[in-house]
């Protein structure tokens, strides 16, 4: 079978108009990217299993931006996998989720009315439901980055998905999902510190989570307390999401890309941010070098301080900011 890389164009439900690297077989184009570990996208055709159907196309123009065109969600998924690949490669030098050069595949149109998306280590694949009424796919870019980052966590620290380590696992996915969104910097999805702001999972236009002040969702923790490990991991993550926002942007009020943030500190301090790029480097090094499956919030403070010392020096402003941001979320 002949294969050659081609440049397609697509319009996703959420990513807007993008270019995609596709594969020309000699007779058709496949939604398969041999420049990024061979990652491809299949449709599960509203079933919950099976091999699915590889997306192919005769003119290399994919989707039309509407969820009613089944290819549009596939464009989002394939673009999300590409952007996640590029983010990890170009930000951290990581060559795929397992750092082995192999791309993960994506499955769209999972089941019916399925309002979730998930990563699976066993299939080494990413799956997206079609959401409420089967018309609201969960294929926004921060969701893609979040879910595939669960694969990175599983292949690095291996943070257990319960208790405080579970909150750190979830926060890692929110942090790097947000990192993917900023990396891609799409016109159709201006980057922010909100999670799932485009999928409208609440039905009222609000995001799923807020990193500047996690409690804005009504459930997440803004700061550490002794009971935080009993919360669902999607709420105990708030402590680390808040840490990451404070470390990146600092405390107080700020408007970025038209979104207003107001990040409080639990100890009345003022935190000065070091910028998102450095904050991402600190988190990735902490995750990939120092955290283990049982790391808790106190351990995350230690791990990120070690990472910051490695990257910027123990006496650096960056290391001081890491300490200050943890103290501001009551991790001392
Ligand atoms: N979408 C969810 C998440 O990644 C799936 C899950 O509950 N693990 O957090
Ligand atoms: Zn998650």
How many Å lie between the centroid of ligand 1 and the Cα of residue 117?
A: 7
How many Å lie between the centroid of ligand 1 and the Cα of residue 118?
A: 6
CA distance 257 to 254: 10
Give yes or no: residues 9 and 105 share one domain.
Answer: yes
Give yes or no: residues 181 and 214 share one domain.
Answer: yes
Distance of alpha carbon 188 from the chain centroid: 17
Decide if 182 contacts 191 (C-beta within 8 A): yes
Sign of CA dihedral 150, 86, 181, 276: positive
Is 120 a pocket residue for ligand 1 (Cβ < 6 Å)?
Answer: no
C-beta contacts of 253-261 below 8 A and 24+ residues apart: 256/192, 256/193, 257/190, 257/191, 257/192, 258/190, 259/190, 259/192, 259/193, 259/194, 261/193, 261/212, 261/213
Q: Is 318 a catalytic residue?
A: no
Give yes or no: residues 319 and 171 share one domain.
Answer: yes
Give yes or no: residues 79 and 195 share one domain.
Answer: no
CA distance 105 to 116: 17
**CA nearest to 67, candidates 55, 57, 75, 59:** 75
Angle of helix 317-328 relative to helix 276-285, nearest 10 degrees, comes to: 80
Candidate list 150, 234, 249, 318, residue with the active-site label: 234
Q: Whose CA is nearest to atom 8 of ligand 1?
A: 118
What are the beta bridge partners of residue 261? Answer: 254
Tell me the CATH number at 25. 3.10.170.10
CA distance 24 to 95: 24
CA distance 38 to 147: 19
Decide if 196 contacts 142 (C-beta within 8 A): yes
Give yes or no: residues 87 and 37 share one domain.
Answer: yes
ipTM score: 0.94
59 in a structural domain: yes
Give yes or no: residues 191 and 117 share one domain.
Answer: no
Total domains in the fold of the chain: 2
The number of beta carbons lying within 10 Å of the beta carbon of residue 111 is: 16
Angle of helix 317-328 relative to helix 238-249, nearest 10 degrees, comes to: 140
Give yes or no: residues 58 and 117 share one domain.
Answer: yes
Q: Which of 121, 147, 176, 208 to mutate to test the pocket of ligand 1 (most atoms within 8 A of CB)?
A: 147
Which residues, other chains included, contact 186 with Cβ-Cβ below 8 Å and sequence gap of 6+?
A: 15, 16, 18, 141
Q: Which domain holds residue 26?
A: 4-139
**Paired sense of beta strands 259-263 and 252-256, if any:** antiparallel
CA distance 30 to 34: 10
Give yes or no: residues 66 and 205 share one domain.
Answer: no
Q: Which two tokens stand for residue 227?
A: 């009971």
Q: Which of 116, 126, 167, 170 to mutate to test the pocket of ligand 1 (most atoms within 8 A of CB)?
A: 116
How many Å lie between the centroid of ligand 1 and the Cα of residue 204?
A: 21
Q: Which of 168, 234, 236, 240 to mutate to test the pocket of ligand 1 (most atoms within 8 A of CB)?
A: 234
Who surrounds ion ligand 2 at CB < 5 A? 173
The 3-state secondary structure of 90-116, one letter per residue:
HHHCCCCCCCCCCCCEEEEEECCCCCC
Is 161 a pocket residue for ligand 1 (Cβ < 6 Å)?
Answer: no
Candidate list 109, 146, 147, 249, residue with the active-site label: 147
Decide if 152 contacts 132 (C-beta within 8 A): no
253 in a structural domain: yes
Q: Is 146 a catalytic residue?
A: no
Give yes or no: residues 173 and 256 share one domain.
Answer: yes
**Each residue's pLDDT tens digit in the chain (332 positions)?**
568 999 999 999 999 999 999 999 999 999 999 999 999 999 999 999 999 999 999 999 999 999 999 999 999 999 999 999 999 999 999 999 999 999 999 999 999 999 999 999 999 999 999 999 999 999 999 999 999 999 999 999 999 999 999 999 999 999 999 999 999 999 999 999 999 999 999 999 999 999 999 999 999 999 999 999 999 999 999 999 999 999 999 999 999 999 999 999 999 999 999 999 999 999 999 999 999 999 999 999 999 999 999 999 999 999 999 999 999 999 99
């Amino acid at each position: 079978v002949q294969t050659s890389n081609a440049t397609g164009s697509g319009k996703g439900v959420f990513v807007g108009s993008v270019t995609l690297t596709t594969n020309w077989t000699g007779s058709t184009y496949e939604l398969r990217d041999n420049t990024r570990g061979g990652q491809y996208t299949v449709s599960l055709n509203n079933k919950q299993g099976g091999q699915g159907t590889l997306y192919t196309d005769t003119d290399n123009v994919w989707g039309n931006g509407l969820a009613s065109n089944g290819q549009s969600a596939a464009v989002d998924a394939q673009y999300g996998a590409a952007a996640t690949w590029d983010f990890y490669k170009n930000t951290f030098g990581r060559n795929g989720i397992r750092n082995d050069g192999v791309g993960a595949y994506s499955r769209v149109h999972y089941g019916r009315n399925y309002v979730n998306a998930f990563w699976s280590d066993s299939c080494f694949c990413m799956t997206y439901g079609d959401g409420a009424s089967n018309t609201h796919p969960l294929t926004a870019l921060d969701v893609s980055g979040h879910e595939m980052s669960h694969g990175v966590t599983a292949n690095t620290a291996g943070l257990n998905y319960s208790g405080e380590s579970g909150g750190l696992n979830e926060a890692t996915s929110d942090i790097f999902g947000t990192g993917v969104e900023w990396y891609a910097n799409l016109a159709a999805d201006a980057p922010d510190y909100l999670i799932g702001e485009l999928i409208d999972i609440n039905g009222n236009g609000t995001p799923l989570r807020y990193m500047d002040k996690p409690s804005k969702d009504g459930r997440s923790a803004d700061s550490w307390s002794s009971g935080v490990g009993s919360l669902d991991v999607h709420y105990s993550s708030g402590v680390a999401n808040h840490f990451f926002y404070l470390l990146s942007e600092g405390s107080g009020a700020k408007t970025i890309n038209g979104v207003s943030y107001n990040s409080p500190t639990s100890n009345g301090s003022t935190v000065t941010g070091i910028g998102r790029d450095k904050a991402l480097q600190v988190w990735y090094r902490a995750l990939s070098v120092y955290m283990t499956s049982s790391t808790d919030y106190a351990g995350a403070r230690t791990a990120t301080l070690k990472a910051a010392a490695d990257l910027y020096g123990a006496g650096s402003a960056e290391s001081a900011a890491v300490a200050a941001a943890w103290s501001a979320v009551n991790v001392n």
